[in-house]
Structures are given as C-alpha cells and as structure tokens.
Amino acid sequence: MEVIKIIGVAFIALIIVIILKQYKPEYTIYVSILVGALILLMVLDELTGIINLLQNIANKTNINSKFLGLLLKITGIAFLSEFAISICQDAGEGAIASKIEIGSKIIVIAMSIPIISSLLEIIIKILP
C-alpha cells in the first residue's frame, strides 16, 4: 500500500518540522522540499505505468501522439507548479506562490491552444 508509505513519510516529516520550528525554523523549508521530492520519487513507478497505458491507448485508437505529449506536459506543469506553490506558501511567500500560479496557468493555456483549435475544427466539420 503505497499511500500508507506516503502518509507515513509525511507524518514523520511533520513531526520533524514541528520539532525544528522550535530550534531552527530556517531548516523547515529544506525538510519540506526533501519530503516532497521523496514522495514524488515514491510514485514515479505508478506515473510511468500511467504514461505507458496512455501511450498504448493512443496507439490503438490512432490519436495523434502530439496531443498526448501535450496533455502529459500540461499535467506535469500542473503538478510541478502545485509543488512549487506549496513550498512557497510553506515558506510564507504567498506573493511568489501567486505569481507561480498565474505564470503556470498562462503556460498551460498557451500549450492547450493546438488541442483547442483541433477540437474547434472537428466541431466545425460536424456542424452543417
């Protein structure tokens, strides 16, 4: 049960952060970054399996691999930006976190334009 391992790592990190806040609060951000990276490494196998499954489905259904790649990149941007936003918020830097959020949303929208335009072309062809 991977989720139990993840929760266990998170609770251990939480205890360490609570203890560190009393003595060396400047080190708590390092613990947060380290635990976040560790959890990402713990779920890397599952993520690889999901990507392989999506590629197999795309190959069987003749979906353009370019679109699948874009969707995976957009999903990766969303996960990484959420991770960075959380770290900034943990460090008390809400202003930086909000800038990351706005920047990542703009990038996601820009990357989505080929998919949106392709969908609109399909809709136009269907409509009389």
Locate 34 and state its tokens: 């380290």
Confidence of residue 11 (pLDDT cuts 50, 70, 90): very high
Is residue 70 classed exposed, middle or buried when 0-12, 13-18 and 19+ CB atoms within 10 A define those classes? middle
- Asked whether residue 5 falls in the same domain as residue 37, the answer is yes
CA distance 15 to 63: 47
Question: What does the pLDDT read at residue 15?
Answer: 92
- pLDDT tens per residue, range 29-45: 899 889 988 998 999 88
Count of domains for the chain: 2
- pLDDT tens per residue, range 65-123: 788 889 889 998 998 999 899 888 988 889 999 999 999 999 999 999 988 998 898 88
Q: What is the pTM of this model?
A: 0.74
* Of the residues 42, 58, 74, the one at which a domain ends: 42
More confident residue, 98 or 57: 98
Structural domain boundaries, residue 110: 45-128
Instruction: Estimate to the nearest angstrom the gap between the alpha carbon of 27 and the chain centroid.
Output: 24
